[in-house]
Amino acid sequence: MEDEDIALNSVLGLELNRVFFAVHETANKQKIIEYAREVLRSERSALADAASPEGPAS
């Protein structure tokens, strides 16, 4: 399953890169960057939650 996730992330990263360079307007590029950052934050949060089965430390 981990190999599939790595492959999917690679494909998604390449596609995001292709779209980014296809877009010419700076404002739209900024929206792409903000969206990608939000996706990364949510993925990191999900991974952190999965890594600590006891939940966050208090």
Q: How far apart are CA 24 and CA 28, in angstroms?
A: 8
Q: How far apart are CA 28 and CA 19, in angstroms?
A: 10
The model scores a pTM over 0.75: no
Q: Is the pLDDT of residue 11 over 80?
A: yes
Q: How far apart are CA 44 and CA 57, in angstroms?
A: 17
pLDDT of residue 25: 92
pLDDT tens, residue by residue, 16-50: 888 888 988 999 989 988 988 898 888 888 878 88
Q: Is the pLDDT of residue 55 over 60?
A: no
pLDDT of residue 9: 82
